[in-house]
Amino acid sequence: MTAIDVKDLKVERSGKAVLHGIRFSVQVGEVFALLGGNGAGKSTTLLTLLGFLPVAAGSVSLNGISPSANVKKIRDQVAYLPEAATLYPHLNAYENLGYFLSLSKLKLSKAELDATLEKVDLQTDARSQKMETYSKGMRQKVSIALALLRDTPILLLDEPTSGLDPVAIDEFNRLVRSLAAEGRTILMVTHDVYGACQVADRIGLLRGGELVGLFGSNEGQKIDTQTVHKAFTERTGAKRAVS
Ligand SMILES: Nc1ncnc2c1ncn2[C@@H]1O[C@H](COP(=O)(O)OP(=O)(O)O)[C@@H](O)[C@H]1O
Ligand SMILES: [Mg+2]
C-alpha cells in the first residue's frame, strides 16, 4: 500500500523552479531516504508534502490526501521533524513536550511522555533537567519524541542525524527501524550516504531538484554504500576531500 505518492512534482520558490518534476512513492512501513547535497531540494520536498509550499505542477498525496486542499486532515497523518528543531533551553524535557503538544491541542500524562522518552532512550535522570544541559543527541531524542507523541502514521524527518555522533546515529537508526516494523512510514532526507544506506529500505538521489537515482528494493537486502557513494559524488560533482 502506498503511503506517500509524489508524481511529477514541480515546485517554485521566489519565482524560481526548485523541483523539476520528481516522482517517487513510499510504501506503508517503509523507510525511504531522500539523499542529496545542499540545495538539492530535500527540505522543499518535505515542506510541500506538509502543505507549506504550493505545488506548481504534478501532485503529492499522503494516505490518499492532498495536503494543499486538506491542511487539517494532513496534520493527523504526518509528524514533522524540522531541520533545526527549536526547543526551549530553559525548560526540561517534560515541559518542552507538554508545551509543544498543547499547541497541537494534545494533553498527555507524564506516564505517556515517559513511555515515549523510554522509546527514544533518553536517560531518566536527564528528563527533568533543563535542556540547556543536554548534548545535541539528547536534544534530538526529545525532538523525535515530540514527533512520535503525535502518533501519526507518517513521519517526515529533515536531516535527523546531522550533528549526531556515531553512537547516537546507531541508536537513531535502530529506533527508525523499530518504528517501521510497527507499520509507520518514514521519509527522511539527508546528505549522509552511509547513514542512509544503514537505515533505509530505498534511497532516492536528488540533485538540482531532479531525482537522478533510485537504490534498493523493498525486499530487505542492504543497499551497497559504495554504489550509492559513487553515484552521489559523481553525479553531484562533489569535490574529493583533501587531507
Ligand atoms: N525560502 C526560500 N526562498 C527561495 N528559495 C529558497 C528558499 N529556501 C530554499 N530555496 C532554494 O531552493 C533550493 C532547494 O533548497 P532546499 O530544499 O532547502 O535544499 P536542501 O534541503 O536539499 O538543502 C535551493 O536552491 C535554495 O536556494
Ligand atoms: Mg534542507
Please provide the average confidence, as pLDDT, over all residues in the chain: 92
Span of 9-13, 192-196, 215-219, 236-240 with lowest mean pLDDT = 236-240
Confidence (pLDDT) at 238 = 52
Q: Which value, in Å, is the radius of gyration of the alpha carbons in the chain? A: 18
Say yes or no: CB of residue 70 within 6 Å of ligand 1: no
User: Domain map of the chain by residue range?
Assistant: 2-84+153-236
What is d(CA 129, CA 139) in angstroms, rounded to the nearest whole number?
Answer: 12
| pLDDT single digits (tens) 38-59 | 999 999 999 999 999 999 999 9
Instruction: Say if residue 109's pLDDT is above 60.
Output: yes
Query: Which numbered ligand comes closest to the C-alpha of 83?
Result: 2
Q: How close is the Cα of 149 to the center of ligand 1, in Å?
A: 29
Long-range contacts of 135-138 (CB under 8 A, 24+ apart): 136/163, 136/164, 136/168, 137/164, 137/165, 137/167, 137/168, 137/171
Local confidence band at 22 (pLDDT 50, 70, 90 cut-offs): very high
Residue with cell 553512537: 167
Return the SS3 of 72.
Answer: helix
Confidence (pLDDT) at 75 = 87
Local confidence band at 243 (pLDDT 50, 70, 90 cut-offs): very low
Span of 33-37, 51-55, 80-84, 111-115 with lowest mean pLDDT = 80-84
Exposure string over 26-58, b if 16+ CB within 10 A, otherwise e: beebbbbbbbbbeebbbbbbbbbbbbebebeeb
**Which of 9, 12, 22, 43 has the most ligand 1 atoms within 8 A of CB, as the residue to mutate?**
43
**Backbone phi, then psi, for 142, in 5-degree steps?**
-70, -40
User: What's the mean pLDDT in 91-97?
Assistant: 97
The CATH number of domain 2-84+153-236 is 3.40.50.300? yes
Confidence (pLDDT) at 237 = 53
Confidence (pLDDT) at 168 = 85
Confidence (pLDDT) at 222 = 82
User: What's the mean pLDDT in 149-170?
Assistant: 91
Say yes or no: CB of residue 38 within 6 Å of ligand 1: yes
Residue with cell 533543563: 130
Share of the chain above pLDDT 70, in %: 95
User: What's the mean pLDDT in 138-148?
Assistant: 92
Query: Which numbered ligand comes closest to the C-alpha of 16?
Result: 1
What is d(CA 206, CA 214) in angstroms, rounded to the nearest whole number?
Answer: 9
Q: How far is CA 90 from the centre of its chain?
A: 26
Say yes or no: CB of residue 84 within 6 Å of ligand 1: no
Residues 6+ apart with CB under 8 A from 61: 4, 5, 67
Pairing of strands 202-207, 16-27: unpaired
Nearest protein Cα to ligand 1, atom 26:
39
User: What's the mean pLDDT in 200-224?
Assistant: 90
